[in-house]
Structure 1
Amino acid sequence: MEPNLNLQEINVIKEKAIEMAFEFGPVLLKAIILLVIGRQVIKFLTRLLSNALEKYEIDPSLSTFFKSFLSAVLWVVLLISVATTLGMQMASFVAILGAAGLAVGLALQGSLSNFAGGVLILVFKPFRVGDTIETQGQLGSVESIDILYTKIRIFDNRVVTVPNGALANNMIINLSQKPTRRVEMKVGVAYGTNLKKTRQVILDTLKKDERIHEDPAPVVYFTNFGDSSLDLTIRCWVDAADLWPVYWDNMEAINEAFEANDITIPFPQRDVHHFYPEGKK
């Protein structure tokens, strides 16, 4: 009798399984279809928003942020819809989501700080995508501003990912915000050099460079009596993009002009005085 009883139990379990399959199978299939279609809809809406932002020439910083935010919101809506389709009560799901959100919020305080920092960056715009900035000991070009992080490409082509919270709460030097920049060069000439002649030689050299602005005009100041030289500071204004090329080119041109006009750039030197005791050579 025992084998027959086991067979009966197996048949009951099989019938229950078939019954549950017919009962929950369509619901599960519907949820899977909803998840697949919803995923494609999210991609479509994100792409649609991207095209709209590009069409109306919205700031790339805002564009990246809006796309990331829209994608996150749509995924939350999709997951709620899938859970509801599977038979989970909305009130229960919201309660679970709220409790989970509180736990996640406590665990991810840093991420929430980064999110708030990203919002502040986009609202107050201390920098934008494409700007060259200096922050957190890094100098480079801003590649993207996402929900939580900002990516900066430094000049050796490495990409540094900086949390938005750190950026929003620390000093940022924006090198691209203004259209013009001041170039500052320092040179030293030997003691006894005619400073008026030297100043004129430098100004004549700078006039040959069309990238240097005439207003404000270039200036040359005598700034210090150095240990071995008379120190001069040269200042001129250029377009922001020309700053370093103008600096490098004119430092070389000034050196050549000094050589042509017999103006000496001294080496560091010291005078040593040796005193002998009386009666000794």
Structure 2
Amino acid sequence: MNEYFNEEKIQSIIEMIIPYVVNLGIAIVVFIIGKWLARKITNIVVSILKRIKGIDVTLVKFIENIVYYILMMVVILTALSKLGVETTSFFAILGAAGLAIGLALKDSLGNFASGVMLIMFKPFKVGDFVTVAGVSGTVNEISIFSSILTTGDNQRMIVPNGSIIAGTIVNVNANPTRRVDLVVGIGYDDDIKKAKNVLTNILESNEKILQEKGLTVAVSELADSSVNFVVRAWVNTPDYWAVKFALTEEVKTRFDQEGISIPYPQQDVHHHNQA
């Protein structure tokens, strides 16, 4: 009787375990095949993205990770369902967790979205000199959440991408040429034609100025204390500051040599004595 009971108990245990063992095997097979498919699909997506002209490597890598982890989440939940685990509750938990994380990291997610836009649309690239979010500097790195700039005095500035997208982006290096603009004033007693000839000669003698793009020397304003000229010339972008500094110095030197004054604001005060 005892032996019969033991055999019956063992048989009952075996019959109870077998479905779990079968389900475990199926779950393992589903996981292995699913993982292989997830990697395969991810590689296909990456291959398609790499064929897109100009797409950034950082964005490709990020999308690769997102696609793979989403697919693996589906694989894991499918494998768990084969074990008899109720996955509906998992989806509910994941949804609630995703909402909580989204609210907690809304600023970070905003920076991430902005980073994707910067990488995709490329308003600037590494090496450009830009003004963004009130900061001017050379771009050293563009990442998903922030961009790193080095200022002219060698400070390292980390700017959130959200602030960059929300404001005006000035890219100094976007175009191969730039226009140098100067305003030069002379006294009312000075010879306008002589000053104009001197300024034109200064522009024509500078080798870095692109003469073929034209020069401008013209009277723009009769100001309170001076007659103002606009002086405009085109240069290659890398030469901009060197030419601007050189022209400013040359104007002062040549005006001194030619006896042309550069007036400064002044007021004449007339005092009348009344008896």
Q: Does 1:63 align with 2:60?
A: no
Taking a change above 3 Å as real, the CA distance of residues 68 and 123 of structure 1, as seen in their structure-2 partners, is closer
| Corresponding letter in the other structure for 1:194 | D
Give the SS at the match of 1:185: strand
Give the SS at the match of 1:105: helix
1:177-216 to structure 2, matched below 5 A, reads 177-216=174-213
Q: Give the corresponding residue for 2:157.
A: 160
| Corresponding letter in the other structure for 1:64 | T
| Length, aligned pairs only | 226
1: CA distance between counterparts of 2:129 and 2:199? 30
Stretches of structure 1 lacking an aligned partner (at least 5 in a row): 1-48
Q: Give the corresponding residue for 1:240.
A: 237
Q: Give the corresponding residue for 2:216.
A: 219
Taking a change above 3 Å as real, the CA distance of residues 146 and 129 of structure 1, as seen in their structure-2 partners, is same
Q: C-alpha offsets along residues 109-163 of structure 1, whole Å, 9 cap, x if unaligned?
A: 1111111111222222222222221121111112211111122222111122222
1: CA distance between counterparts of 2:169 and 2:254? 38
Q: Give the corresponding residue for 1:45.
A: none
| Aligned-CA RMSD value | 3.3
2: CA distance between counterparts of 1:90 and 1:133? 54
Taking a change above 3 Å as real, the CA distance of residues 247 and 122 of structure 1, as seen in their structure-2 partners, is same
- Equivalent pair of 1:64/1:144 in contact (CA under 8 Å): no
- Equivalent pair of 2:149/2:158 in contact (CA under 8 Å): yes
Q: Give the corresponding residue for 1:175.
A: 172
2: CA distance between counterparts of 1:81 and 1:172? 43
- Equivalent pair of 2:178/2:237 in contact (CA under 8 Å): yes
- Equivalent pair of 2:111/2:144 in contact (CA under 8 Å): yes
2: CA distance between counterparts of 1:169 and 1:269? 43
Task: Return the TM-score normalized by structure 1.
Answer: 0.68
Q: Does 1:117 align with 2:124?
A: no
Stretches of structure 2 lacking an aligned partner (at least 5 in a row): 1-45
Give the SS at the match of 2:99: helix
Q: C-alpha offsets along residues 17-70 of structure 1, whole Å, 9 cap, x if unaligned?
A: xxxxxxxxxxxxxxxxxxxxxxxxxxxxxxxx9xxx8xx9x86x8233434555
2:145 equivalent among 143, 148, 159:
148
Give the SS at the match of 1:202: helix
Task: Return the TM-score normalized by structure 2.
Answer: 0.69
Taking a change above 3 Å as real, the CA distance of residues 90 and 139 of structure 1, as seen in their structure-2 partners, is farther
Give the SS at the match of 1:211: coil
